[in-house]
Amino acid sequence: MQTTAPTLSSFNDFLAAARAQPDAQRLLFVFGVAELPPTHSPGQAIRFREGRGGALSPVMCVDKAIGELADFPALVAESRSTGQPWDVVFAAALAAPAGREPSEPEVEQALRSMIGAVHRGAVERFLAFDAEGRSLLLS
């Protein structure tokens, strides 16, 4: 019998999957803004103006316990209260074994790792959502 991993196509799917895990989870979010790279070509500038291409730069991050976040609109409202604009939010969950919560150093290290991955464009292992909560497939 072949099994496949469940598809997480919405923010609600992500929350439900995290809540269903046997180990305690911390939800990790890195918010990014689309920018034109400083060393862009004329073609890159055209594509960027058309809403395609560019680079994503992390602008803020946050971690949440599962019970601290009801839904995507709550995450958006909290993020907007900072005054920092963003275009994409990357999401991941961090588990700690043995029924304990992930420690603060573990969470900080995971967030640093996510930020570094966003800087490098290595975001394929994260879920990505636009500001409306639509799932994104970034390449």
Paired sense of beta strands 25-35 and 55-65, if any? antiparallel
User: What are the sequence ranges of the domains in the chain?
Assistant: 11-130
Q: Provide φ and ψ at 90, rounded to 5°.
A: -95, 140
pTM: 0.87
Please give the structure tokens belonging to residue 7: 């598809």
Helix (H) or strand (E) holding 73: helix 72-80
CA 10 to chain CA centroid, nearest Å: 12
Pick the range with the lowest mean pLDDT from 2-11, 15-24, 110-119, 122-131: 2-11
Q: Tell me the pLDDT tens digit for each residue of 28-45.
A: 999 999 888 788 888 888
- At 1 the pLDDT is 37
70 SS3 class? coil
Q: How confident is the model at residue 7 (pLDDT cuts 50, 70, 90)?
A: low
Report the DSSP beta bridge partners of residue 28. 63, 92
